[in-house]
Amino acid sequence: MAAILETRDVVIRFGGLVAVNLLNIEVEKGEIISIIGPNGAGKTTAFNLITGVYKPTEGVILFDGERISGKRPDEIAKIGIARTFQNIRLFKSLTVLENVLIATHLNIKSNLFSSVLKTPKARKEEKEMVEYAEFLLKETGLLHLKDEKAENLPYGLQRRLEIARALATKPKILLLDEPAAGMNPKESDDLTEFIKNIRDKFNLTILLIEHHMQLVMSISDRIYVLEYGITIAKGKPQEIQENPAVIKAYLGEENDDLC
Amino acid sequence: MLVIPTMAELLQQVCNGLLLGSLFALVAVGYTMVYGILRLINFAHCDIFMMAMYIAFFIVAPDSRWWFIGFIIVIAITAILGMGVEKIAYTPLRKQNAPKISMLISAIGMSYLLENLATVLFTGKPKTFPQIELLVGMIEIGPIRLQRLALVVPIVTFLLMVILLTLINKTKAGMAMRAVSKDLETAKLMGINVNSTISFTFAVGSAIAGVGAILWGLKYPQISPLVGVMPGLKCFVAAVIGGIGNIKGAVLGGLILGFVEIMAVAFFPSISAYKDIFSFAILIIILLFRPNGIIGEKIAEKV
Amino acid sequence: MEKKKRNLILSVVSILVLIGFIIWAEECTKAFGVYNQRIFKTCCIYAICALSMNMVNGYTGLFSLGQPGFMAIGAYVTAFLTVTPSDKIAIYKIVPISEGLANLNAPFFIALIIGGLVAAFFAFLIGFPVLSLKGDYLAIATLGFSEIIRIFITNAQGLTNGPTGINRIPNDFMNLYVLCGILALVVIFILSMMKTSYGRALLAIREDEVAAQAMGINLFKHKMLAFIISGFLAGIGGGLLASLVGAIDPNQFKFTVAYDILLMVVLGGQGSVSGCIAGAFIVRIALEKLRFLDEPINFGIFEYPGIGGMRMVVFSILLMLVIIKWRKGIFGNEEFSWDKVFNFFSKFKKAPKKEVEK
């Protein structure tokens, strides 16, 4: 099967620093792929490359066989790649419902004037947008909070809202940047179920960055391990757990006897 | 349209360009220093410049024999004024962790306040800056006739730039300034006294604006409450063109603007009425092709 | 539901009272006073200008200071098209106007809309180079463009009559019905636009540009949209101002006008229509009422000589105080609602009780 998302020898340099070097990721449709690695390994940079926030210095990124590197983030979102952010970037002073509605805007057909004049067509479209947003909020268990301001939500729910918002763009691939950050074991177990659930329900392919090993091991079909911008290992969870290079990266050379 | 000047005229214009460019550079340095440390356009900088001209008028005009000492006092008072502006307009907002846009509005408010205050204190009627014969007198070098200023200003600018770069790169205070401009929060955690560093930056920037104001006043002697506005806008533009936050960039930008303005008018006298818009036109062109200025560093936003 | 009913009744009543007041103010010139009438009219026009700035600064989170330029364009186009051909020939003394230009004429409302459209077109042109700039760079660039427009107007003698400006602008329609009517239309347009998906997209850009773009919002296209609408509204505001004042010259559109409008928006609350209107009225009325500071006052014991420009000093101190002490303005970024009024008053009622408990 052909990869839905593929990065080919992607390199990005910031001045003298090579943040990501020769990144080669292949993601097949329906997979859940994790990217792990120590802090500063270039994981979020990889996400920023895929979503167009940064342009690769070298290499290409392909989506469904088409080149997407060089496109703007909003174009890439339209093509079908949605993301969440490591440090939660909600539209804070807007309501939960508005946050999700904004993400449905990219597919809007009515123009400004018919929207302002509320033509029957525009009204119907707006109604459909609200219905879809409410459906997503229901799926993510946030419907009862829809009129709450996003900044007033507790941390865990803010992360959920980010996922709901990303889903509203009707993506084919969802990129989750540390979705379990700051969660307790129970919450991250729930999250595992939740991610699997949305994958099946929305027919998604999921790429995630995570430090929470239990979640990574139980959810991933395959794992890529990055260190200093270089892919040091890739494979199935079992293989990664036994890979000496990975153990070294995580625990350091000197600590072998401790394991 | 195009007027081809003679060689002598051209040399004369080069000197004029250098003079105007150096004046721009002196004011641009103040913008760039404040921007470097606070990421803020100090809209009030041009009014500190204007105030310095008035202060010079009141200190030096009554008895211009002691002009040198008078000018030093002017520069000192201007530095204090700059610190005062920072304490009144920016410190309270910085403490509230206010968004940048509030700081910018406060800057505009401060600028407006100084202009109106000047109108009330000194009336809108223009005053004439004291003319120091030693500096404004004419000299002849070969075919060209120049004011002595045309030599003095570039030299002063060059010396000040050297002193400033030494201050920033070689002294402890300069190190603190660089640290605060890289990352204010971290600098604070590392035990740098951020408030006094910022105060110091304003003092230095304003003192240089004071020097600029004195030299400007000698060249263009008319003082009015709005005298700082046009130079202020142009000098900010100069700082951006060079790469804001960068001292050398500000000087380079100032020189470019000065030259362009003088040369354009020299070659195309018919468009002299439009000379004030060249700087904005250049600004927009530069921002399109080099958003970080000619020698500015790229500042990537963290996502 | 009780609350909803109460709010509806209150809204209807206050709108009726407002309409009644406007009719009274317009019809009973003697009781209201010509001077007050004029202040009221100016307030309406500046409210439109404040709303124009709010579109970009309040809703989209950009920082533009280009209003004076767009106002100037609207004012000159409206003036040019409404002054009669014979008057135009009489006014253009230094550089005579060509006959073709002199004969260009349009009824007031069409001229006004053309003025708005020309301003919007200039906003569109300026938007290309400047809208990709961030924060304060945009502020300086728009300020620069505003000045460029003014310098062009000063120098394009054959078209604008240069520094002398245009006078004898007819003011047949400058009554409160027309001005309040236009303001109401603008308010309705903005409020309904902000309820559409496009309005939400602008808010998203204000809240977080990176996230908005990641959610598929084309930043440039939407910023441009806000910028063009803002230009149009400023053009309308300028056209009305020209017609109300009757004479315009380039100096009326200096960039300091942008500061005045900025104060209105900040004082009322960036991102709030009610705030902008309140801000415009407060600032304009304050500017008029502070005039006493420029004139001598006799306190009995001593006499205040009256200092020309004192009013502007007080005005700028107010601007500083507002931004330092009251950063979010009267309304913050929210709209007026009756619930808030009641909450506000109930807070006052409860406050003393708490003190007793202590």
Q: How confident is the model at residue A52, as a pLDDT?
A: 94
Structural domain count, chain A: 2
CB within 8 Å: A51 and C219: no
Instruction: Return residues 73-102 of A near C (CB < 8 Å).
Output: 73-74, 77-78, 82-83, 85, 89-94, 98, 101-102
Q: Do C214 and A78 touch (CB under 8 A)?
A: no
Q: Mean pLDDT throughout C194-207?
A: 96
Among B120, B277, B287, the residue with its CB nearest the CB of C307 is B120
What are the contacts of A196-202 at 24+ separation with CB within 8 A?
A196/A32, A198/A139, A198/A163, A198/A167, A198/A174, A199/A30, A199/A32, A201/A139, A202/A167
Query: Which pTM was predicted?
Result: 0.89
| Residue C355: pLDDT band with limits 50, 70, 90 | very low
Q: In degrees, to the nearest 5, what angle opens at C-alpha B70 toward C-alphas B66 and B73?
A: 150
Q: Residues 120..159 of C with a Cβ closer than 8 Å to B: which?
A: 129-130, 132-133, 135-137, 139-141, 143-145, 147-148, 151-152, 154-155
Is A192 found in the same domain as A76?
yes
Q: In this predicted model, what pLDDT tens digit does every residue of A224-253 receive, in sequence order?
A: 999 888 899 899 999 988 888 888 877 665
Q: Which residues of B touch C263 (CB under 8 A)?
A: 109
Question: CB burial class (10 A; 0-12, 13-18, 19+) of residue A223?
Answer: buried
CB contacts, 8 Å: B108 with chain C: 259, 262, 319
Contacts of C214 in chain A (CB under 8 A): 51, 53, 73-74, 77, 82-83, 85, 89
Mean pLDDT of C169-194: 94
Cβ–Cβ gap C208/A90 under 8 Å = yes
Instruction: Report the alpha-carbon distance of residue B281 to residue B265 in Å, rounded.
Output: 15
Residues of C in contact with B88 (CB under 8 A): 320
Answer whether B109 touches C (CB < 8 Å).
Answer: yes
| Residue in C189, C200, C216 nearest the CB of A101 | C200
Residue at A128 is within a domain: yes
Low-confidence residues in chain B, pLDDT < 70: 1, 297-303
What is the number of residues in chain A?
259
Looking at residue C354, what is its pLDDT?
A: 43
> Which of B105, B115, B282, B301 to substitute to test the interface with C, most C CBs within 10 Å?
B105
The reply to whether A199 falls in a domain is: yes
Q: Is any Cβ of chain C less than 8 angstroms from the Cβ of B50?
A: no
Average confidence (pLDDT) over C211-240: 97
Residue A121 and residue A235 in one domain: no
Residues A189 and A252 reside in one and the same domain:
yes
Which chains are adjacent to chain B, needing at least 3 Cβ pairs under 8 Å?
A, C
Hey, what are A165's tokens?
């918002």
In a domain, C288, yes or no: no
| Residues A161 and A194 placed together within one structural domain of the fold | no
Query: Same domain, yes or no, for A67 and A188?
Result: yes
pLDDT given for residue B1 in this prediction: 65
C234 in contact with B, Cβ within 8 Å: no
Give dist(CA B106, CA B100) in Å, integer: 10
Please, which residues 282-301 of chain B have a Cβ atom closer than 8 Å to chain A? Answer: 300
User: In 3-state terms, chain C is what percent helix, strand and coil (to 5)?
Assistant: 75, 0, 20
**Which residue(s) pair with B208 in the sheet?**
none
Residue C15, amino acid: I
Is A85 domain-assigned?
Answer: no
Contact across the interface for B273 and C151, Cβ inside 8 Å: yes
Q: Which residues of C touch A163 (CB under 8 A)?
A: none
Contact A14 B300 (CB under 8 A): yes
The CA distance from A193 to the nearest CA of chain C, in Å, is 25
A chain contacts of residue C211, beta-carbon cutoff 8 Å: 85, 89-91
pLDDT of residue A10: 93
- Is A105 in Cβ contact with C215 (below 8 Å)? yes
Q: Do A169 and C193 touch (CB under 8 A)?
A: no
Do residues C194 and C334 lie in contact, with contact meaning Cβ atoms separated by under 8 Å?
no
Tell me, yes or no, whether A95 and A216 share the same domain: no
> 3-class SS at C39?
helix
Q: Which of A170, A201, A223 is a domain's end point?
A: A170
Domain end marker among A118, A144, A170? A170
Q: What is the pLDDT along chain A (259 residues), one digit of tens a residue?
A: 578 999 999 999 987 888 899 999 999 999 999 999 888 888 999 999 999 999 999 999 999 989 999 999 999 999 999 999 999 999 999 999 999 999 999 999 999 999 999 999 999 999 999 999 999 999 999 999 999 999 999 988 999 999 999 999 999 999 999 998 888 888 888 889 999 999 999 999 999 999 888 889 999 999 999 988 889 989 999 998 888 888 887 766 554 444 4
Q: What per-residue confidence (pLDDT) applies to C154?
A: 92
Percent with pLDDT over 90 in chain C: 55
Give A32's strand partners. A206
Instruction: Give the pLDDT confidence of C312-351 residue by residue, as tens digits.
Output: 888 888 878 888 887 788 888 778 888 878 877 776 655 4
Nearest-Cα distance to chain C for B285, in Å, is 8
pLDDT for res C291: 81
Same-domain status, A101 and A155: yes
Region B7-289: CATH code: 1.10.3470
Domain boundary (A147, A170, A193) is at: A170
Tell me: do A70 and A195 sit in the same domain.
yes
- How far does the CA of residue B30 sit from the closest CA of chain A (Å)? 28
Q: Does B283 touch chain C (CB under 8 A)?
A: yes
pLDDT at residue C357 greater than cutoff 90: no
B-chain CB neighbours of C320 within 8 Å are: 88-89, 106, 109-110, 113
Radius of gyration of chain C (CA): 22
Q: CA nearest C64 in B: which residue? A: B101
Q: Is B303 within 8 Å of A48 when comparing Cβ atoms? A: yes
Q: Do A85 and B300 touch (CB under 8 A)?
A: no
Chains touching A (3+ CB pairs < 8 Å): B, C
Question: For residue B265, what pLDDT is reported?
Answer: 86
Question: Chain C: nearest CA to B184, how far in angstroms?
Answer: 19
Are residues A181 and A160 located together in one domain of the fold?
A: no
Query: Distance from C339 to chain B by nearest Cα, in Å?
Result: 28
Q: Are residues C151 and B277, on separate chains, in Cβ contact within 8 Å?
A: yes
Contact C214 A104 (CB under 8 A): no
Range of the domain at C174: 22-254
Q: Does residue C346 form part of some domain?
A: no
Q: Are residues A34 and A22 in the same domain?
A: yes
pLDDT digits (tens, 9 = 90+) for B41-55: 888 999 999 999 999
* Closest CA in chain C for residue B237: C140
Res A259: pLDDT: 42
- Round to whole Å and give the CA distance between C97 and C269: 45
- Does the beta-carbon distance from B303 to A14 stay under 8 Å? no
How far is the C-alpha of B201 from the C-alpha of B107, rounded, in Å? 16
B222 bridge partner residues: B128
User: Cβ of A115 under 8 Å from any chain C Cβ?
Assistant: yes
Q: How many residues does chain B have?
A: 303
**Burial group, residue B185, by CB count within 10 angstroms (0-12, 13-18, 19+):** exposed
Residues contacting residue B136 through CB under 8 Å, at least 6 positions apart = B147, B148, B149, B218, B219
Range of the domain at A158: 90-170
User: Which residues of A lie inside 8 Å of B (Cβ-Cβ)?
Assistant: 14, 44, 48, 53, 85
**pLDDT of the residue at C218:** 96
Distance from C197 to chain A by nearest Cα, in Å? 6
Looking at the structure, do residues A193 and A162 belong to the same domain, yes or no?
A: no
Radius of gyration of chain A (CA): 19
Chain centroid offset of residue A237 CA: 20
> Is residue C214 pLDDT above 90, yes or no?
yes
pLDDT at B200: 94
Residues of C in contact with B240 (CB under 8 A): 137, 140
Are C207 and A93 a contacting pair at CB < 8 A? Answer: yes
Structural domain includes residue A115: yes
- Extract the runs of DSSP E, i.e. beta strands, from B170-228: 222-223
Token readout for B94 is 């910085």
Partner-chain residue, chosen from B93, B115, B116, that has the shortest CB–CB distance to C324: B93
In angstroms, the Cα distances linking C80 to B187, B281, C112, C150, C352 are 58, 27, 10, 16, 60
**What are the two backbone dihedrals, phi and then psi, of residue B293, each rounded to the nearest 5 degrees?**
85, 175
Q: Are A188 and A214 in contact (CB under 8 A)?
A: yes
- Position C1 confidence tier, pLDDT thresholds 50, 70, 90: low
Is the same domain home to A99 and A147?
yes
For residue A48, list chain B residues with Cβ-Cβ distance below 8 A. Answer: 303
Task: Give chain C's mean pLDDT.
Answer: 89
Residue of A nearest to C195 (CA): A116
Mutate to test the interface with C, among A102, A131, A132 (most CBs of C within 10 A): A102
Determine the distance in angstroms separating the CA of B121 from the nearest CA of chain A, rounded to an integer. 44
Q: Would you say residue C329 lies in a domain?
A: no
Tally of domains within chain C:
1
C260-264, Cβ contacts within 8 angstroms, sequence gap of 24 or more: C260/C46, C260/C287, C261/C46, C261/C49, C261/C50, C261/C52, C261/C53, C261/C67, C262/B105, C262/B108, C262/C53, C262/C57, C262/C65, C263/B109, C263/C315, C263/C318, C263/C319, C263/C322, C264/C46, C264/C47, C264/C49, C264/C50, C264/C53
Q: Considering the domain boundaries, does residue A97 fall inside one?
A: yes
CATH number at residue A47: 3.40.50.300
